[in-house]
A and B are shown apart, each in its own frame.
Chain A
Amino acid sequence: MTTRRMMVAAAAVLALGLSACGSDDPETDTGAGGDSEAEGLKVGIKYDQPGLGLKQGSEFTGLDVDVATYVAKELGVEAGDIEFIQAPSAQRETLIETGQVDMVVATYSITDARKEKISFAGPYFIAGQDLLVRSDDTSITGPDTLDGKKLCSVTGSTSAQKVKETVPGVNLQEFGTYSECVAALASGAIDALTTDDTILAGYAAQEQYKGKLKVVGQPFSEERYGIGLKKGDTAQCQKITDAIKKMISDGEWQKIVDKNLGPANYKAGAGNPPTPDACA
């Protein structure tokens, strides 16, 4: 029964979605109406985060990619019509504001500062800042055991700022990308890498680090991943929120999480699956 009602809702969503897109994007306004194969969707994702958003050749894999594909399907866009565009952290707001992407699904934490520029649908996942250490390291069990340890994170990132706040005087090495931190961690030059546990799980599951690294599992912050949209696009936000709700209720959410983060023995933390916020 519920499935049928959902399908009706989805169909309505689809029709609305297309007309909404058509009206604010002159280039793609071909008067397609409710036709399901009418137009593509431009989605900003990360290209370099295993388990979340990774580009290998012309293949895209990861949690964000699967969520985007599911949501797009609910909006009436087939997987083949989605165009994935790279959305590095610093450019996400700009990409949305200038209309270069229709939505951003790229480990995008919902924050008040960002809400001033764009709108969010979701959260579709709740991550937390955690620590990645070598498998044989038992001395680090959480942020309070970091005294005298060498830590690594990305220049200027929220995680780097947060850990400086949580552990004053921490010995923090900052690099341009996480890959450099992971390499240094595996070689033993640093003791821990800190950022969102999802990102850490992705690295721990990579072929070359399998069994060598582990996620500590004591998250000390809450990162609510949302889908970034043009500011004030409540209609689209509502449709995406419905799609997320459906994804969680029909079990697809769990499948996506298991598929992408399961290999690292990662269990979704407290608060998952999340309840999406109301669109404002």
Chain B
Amino acid sequence: MGEILSEYDVLGAFWVTIQLSVLSAIGSLLIGTVMAVLRVSPVAVLRLIGTSYVNIVRNTPLTLLMAFSVLGLSFILGLQLSDQATTNSYWWAVIMLSIYHGAFVCEALRSGVNTIPPGQAEAARAMGLTFGQSLSQVLLPQAFRGAIAPLGSTLIALIKNTTVAAVILGTAEAAGQLAEITENEGASLPTFFLFALGFVILTLPLGILFTNLSQRLSVKR
């Protein structure tokens, strides 16, 4: 075990996993919020765009999205984000993780919006607030607070889904590193558990934090 830790950059691999998680979490939160706004907007076309996005992305396997990003978008359509293959794959992985989890964030937020009694939106409109104002002042703050638990689940799923990036990213992140160790040293249970432990360390505190937050921040009605 010590041998594996000294010979391979396991911590470096987990650092890349953390980078991917943080960048994609930010990306997916942005995409998800925009899509959630579209889905609750009063304009039918915008609602259709939001709904189509969620239904298409949510039902496409992440592995497929990853392979498509590099093989299809990058290699065939020429959308290179960098001349270096690894950097190119890295940013495509961030983009695809953001797009994929954006759909889940959107649905979590929409469920948050749906917890708010319709009277509040009507009251906001009666006070003369525009759609944008009622969204940013009344609906979204409450929606985030109500959706904190499903958002936490999505974040945890995202952290674990970064391993799918190994199909395009190579050995930089944790799953790819595990593949390399398995290739050289043979499959071994202790190594497997070491990596599993790494993900437990990353996700367990988050799970506890989000449960806690959801209780403290929930909107008392």
Which of B84, B166, B177, B184 interacts with A113 by CB under 8 Å?
Answer: B184
Task: Say yes or no for B67: interface residue by CB 8 A criterion.
Answer: yes
Task: Say yes or no for A172: interface residue by CB 8 A criterion.
Answer: yes
Contact A172 B180 (CB under 8 A): no
Which of A113, A157, A173 interacts with B85 by CB under 8 Å?
Answer: A173
Q: Find residues 58-76 in chain A having any chain B CB closer than 8 Å to their own CB.
A: none
Contact B166 A90 (CB under 8 A): no
Closest 3 CB pairs of A and B: A174-B170, A189-B75, A156-B180
Number of interface residues of A (CB under 8 A): 29
Contact A173 B171 (CB under 8 A): no
> A168-206 toward B: CB 8 Å interface, digit per residue (1/0)?
000111111000100110010110000000000000000
Known A172-B85, A184-B71; contact A91-B187, beta-carbon cutoff 8 A: yes
- Residues of chain B touching chain A, judged by Cβ–Cβ distance below 8 Å, are 63, 67, 70-71, 74-76, 83-86, 88-89, 166-171, 176-187
Which residues of chain A have C-beta atoms less than 8 A from B171's C-beta? 155-156, 160, 174
Known A90-B187, A155-B166; contact A173-B70, beta-carbon cutoff 8 A: yes
In whole angstroms, what is the CA distance A37 to B207 when docked? 58
Contact B85 A90 (CB under 8 A): no
Q: Chain B interface mostly helix, strand, loop or mixed?
A: helix
Which residues of chain A have C-beta atoms less than 8 A from B181's C-beta? 156
Chain B's closest residue to A150 (CB) is B85
Which of B76, B84, B187 interacts with A187 by CB under 8 Å?
Answer: B76
Which of A114, A156, A183 interacts with B186 by CB under 8 Å?
Answer: A114
Contact B76 A171 (CB under 8 A): no
20 contacts between A and B (CB under 8 A): A90-B183, A91-B187, A113-B185, A150-B85, A155-B166, A155-B167, A156-B177, A157-B183, A158-B184, A161-B183, A172-B85, A173-B70, A173-B88, A173-B170, A174-B168, A174-B170, A175-B67, A175-B70, A187-B76, A190-B85
Chain B's closest residue to A158 (CB) is B183
Contact A155 B179 (CB under 8 A): yes
Highest count of chain B CB atoms <10 Å: which of A150, A161, A174: A174
